Amino acid sequence: MASTLFFQPFVLSSPTPLVSFSPIRAILPGCLSPRRRSVSLSTTAMADKPTSAMGTKLPHVLTVAGSDSGGGAGIQADIKACGAMGVYCSSVITAVTAQNTVGVQGVHPVPEKFIEKQLESVLSDMDVDVVKTGMLPSLGVIKVLCESLKRFPVKALVVDPVMVSTSGDTLSAPSTLSGYRDELFRMADIVTPNLKEASALLGGMQLQAVSDMSLAAKSIHKFGPKNVLVKGGDLSGSTEAVDIFFDGETLYELRGSRVQTRNTHGTGCTLASCIAAELAKGHPMLQAVKAAKAFLESALHYSKDIAMGSGPQGPFDHLFRLKSSPYNVEPRLKFNPDDLFLYAVTDSGMNRKWGRPMTDAVEAAIKGGATIIQLREKEMKTQEFIQTAKACMEVCQPHKIPLLINDRVDVALACNADGVHVGQSDMQAHTVRALLGPGKIIGVSCKTVAQAEKAWMDGADYIGCGGVFPTNTKKDNITIGLEGLKEICLASKLPVVAIGGIGIGNANLVMEIGMKNLKGVAVVSALFDKENVEGEARKLRSVLERVFCSVS
C-alpha cells in the first residue's frame, strides 16, 4: 500500500567549512582491457591486472543513493552487488530510510550541502570510474550532483531513476521528474527505468506490452542519455523477464527467465550497480547490461527460497558466489574459446561399426589432441545416455577437457557436464542458461547472421557454424560454404567453431579464411569413422597447428 512518508530534515550539528578542491581528472575514453590472445590451449582464464605508477588500480563505482535499513536495496544493495562483481564501491548517502520487507516506514533526507560535501570528498580523491545513482530525493540533490559531475568528470554515469519503491512508497519529490528529464539524463550513459518510472517520465504513458516498452525507450532516449534500458519485470502475463535496450540506433529485446520468488527487493538497484561495475571494468555497454542481467537471474535463482521478514517482498543474497552452489561459478571462467581448436563430436553408430566403446573413442580423441568433446547421440535411450555421459566425464576430467552434451539439457544436468550444444530447433539458449546457470558452456548452431546475433543475445558462449562442406553425417544439412562461414564470423560477437564435412584434407582451407574469432573445427566422421581415432586426431591437430602458426 502506498504511503505518504515523512521527510525529516537532517540536522548538521557543527557545519565545517568546505575545503576547496580543484578538478583533478579529465574524461577518460571507454576502455576495454583486452584479454591476451593465448596460444596455449589451457582452460584457465587469465585475469588482467591494470596497474598504475602508484600500484594496482581497482575498478571503482561511486553510488549516490539512499540507505535501506533492511539491507536489500539502496546503498546496501549497491555495495554488495559491486563487491560481488569484483569492483570497489564508495557511497554518497542521499537519505536514510526506515524500511523492511513490509514497506518503507520513514525517509530522512540528508541536506543537499552535505551531499555535496560527500561527493566532493570521494570524487576529488578516489579515482572513481563510474557514478551510479539511485534515490535522489529532491530536485536540489539532482542539481548538486550535476554540478559535482561537471567539476569531477567520470568515465560513465548510470542513472536508475528511483521514484517509487516496489512496495509503492514515494521516494522522490514530483519535481525530480524535470531534474531527470532536463538535466541528469543528458549526462547519462544509460538510464534504467522500470515500467512505472518510464510511464511517469513520459507523462503517464500506458506500458502494457513489449511494443509499448520499445516506444518508451525511444522517447526516453530523446531526453539525452546515450542508452536506455526499460525493465519489464512488472509486465503482467509474461513468463519471461523481457527488458528493452535502446542505444539510439538499434532496439534489443533482452530475454531471461522469470524467477518465481517473493525475494525481489532491490533488483533495480542491483541491476544498475552491476551495469556500473561492468563499465568500471572497461566492458562495452550492451555486454555490461547482459552480464548484469545474468548475475541478477542467478542471484534470484539462488535466493528464491530464502525466508526473511513477514512482508510481501524479501531481499535476496548478492553474495551467493561466496557459497557452494551451481550458481557460484564465476561466469565464463570455465570457458576458454581456445578449447574450440579441435572439437570432437561423437557418434556411437560409427564407434559400433569399428567395434569400440564410446569411452575408448573419447580417450583416443583426447590423446590425439582433441580440445573439447561433444556427445551427440540421437538414438540412445535416456538412461544409457546418462551412464555413457558419466563414464565419458571420468575420461575427460583428468585431462581437463570439457565435455558437452548435444541437445539434452536433462542429460547434461544429470551428469554435471561442462555444457550443452543446441541447434535452432532445440531448447533456446537463454532457457538453457537459466537451467544450467552462468558457469556452464553453451554453444548454438548458426547458419545465418541473425541466428548468430540471437545466440549472443541469449547468453551463449560460442557458435557452431556450418555445414561448411557437404556432409553424410547429418541428413539434409544445408551447406553454407566458406563464404557463408566468413560472413557469419565477421558478424559474430562470439567465438566460432566451423563444422560439416571437415577433415585432414580441407581443415587448412577453413582456418585460412583468416577470421580472428574462428577458433577451430568440429568434426565427426574425420575422427570416429576411422579405425585409428588417436592417429587421425593427431594428424588433424598438426594441420590445424600449422595453419595457426602461419596466420598468428
Ligand X SMILES: Cc1nc(C(=O)O)sc1CCOP(=O)(O)O
Ligand Y SMILES: Cc1ncc(COP(=O)(O)OP(=O)(O)O)c(N)n1
231 is catalytic: yes
CB of 533 to ligand Y, least distance (A): 18
From residue 413 to residue 432, the character string flagging contacts with Mg ion as x (rule: CB under 5 A) and all else as - is ----------x--x------
63 burial (CB, 10 Å; 0-12 / 13-18 / 19+) is buried
CB contact burial 135-162 (16+ within 10 A = b; e otherwise): bbbbbbbbbbbeebbeebbbbbbbbbbb
Catalytic: which of 80, 132, 231, 440?
231
CA 254 from centre of chain: 11
**Packing angle of the helix pair 267-280, 74-84 (nearest 10 deg):** 40
Total interface residues for ligand Y by CB under 6 A: 17
Catalytic: which of 179, 268, 459, 464?
268
Please check whether residue 53 is in contact with residue 249, taking contact to mean a CB–CB distance below 8 angstroms: no
15 burial (CB, 10 Å; 0-12 / 13-18 / 19+) is exposed
Length of the chain: 552
Nearer to ligand Y, 66 or 503 (CB): 503
Among 466, 484, 495, 520, binds ligand X (CB under 6 A): 466
Nearer to ligand Y, 221 or 376 (CB): 376
Nearer to ligand X, 110 or 485 (CB): 485
Q: Where does 279-364 show beta strands of DSSP type E? A: 342-345
Please check whether residue 138 is in contact with residue 107, taking contact to mean a CB–CB distance below 8 angstroms: no
**DSSP per position, 178-241:** HHIIIIIHHH-SEE--BHHHHHHHTTS----SHHHHHHHHHHHHTTS-SEEEEE-TT-TT-SEE
499 sits near ligand X (criterion: CB under 6 A): yes
Please choose, out of 26-34, 242-250, 284-292, 420-428, the segment that lies near ligand Y by the rule CB under 6 A: 420-428
Grid cell in block for residue 544 = 590445424
Cell 553510488 belongs to residue: 63
CB of 112 to ligand Y, least distance (A): 58
Among 500, 515, 520, 541, binds ligand X (CB under 6 A): 500
Among 314, 402, 464, 520, binds ligand X (CB under 6 A): 464
Nearer to ligand X, 74 or 501 (CB): 501
**DSSP per position, 53-67:** TTEEPPPEEEEEEEE
266 is catalytic: yes
Catalytic: which of 82, 89, 269, 396?
269
What are the beta bridge partners of residue 374? 345, 404
Cell 532496439 belongs to residue: 251
Answer with the entry of ligand Y, ligand X, Mg ion, none that 443 interacts with (C-beta below 5 to 8 A by kind).
ligand Y
Grid cell in block for residue 231 = 525493465
227 sits near ligand Y (criterion: CB under 6 A): no
From residue 432 to residue 451, the character string flagging contacts with ligand X as x (rule: CB under 6 A) and all else as - is -------------x------
Cell 598468428 belongs to residue: 552
Residues numbered 461 to 480 that lie near ligand Y (CB under 6 A) are 464, 474
Please check whether residue 280 is in contact with residue 61, taking contact to mean a CB–CB distance below 8 angstroms: yes
CB of 421 to ligand X, least distance (A): 9
Residues numbered 371 to 400 that lie near ligand Y (CB under 6 A) are 374, 376
Catalytic: which of 264, 346, 371, 471?
264
Residues numbered 340 to 359 that lie near ligand X (CB under 6 A) are 345
415 is catalytic: no
From residue 183 to residue 222, the character string flagging contacts with ligand Y as x (rule: CB under 6 A) and all else as - is ----------------------------------------
What residues make contact with ligand Y under the rule CB under 6 A? 343, 345, 374, 376, 406-407, 421-423, 426, 443, 445, 464, 474, 497, 499, 522
* Residues recognised as catalytic: 231, 264, 266-269
What residues make contact with ligand X under the rule CB under 6 A? 345, 445, 464, 466-467, 471, 473-474, 477, 499-502, 523-526
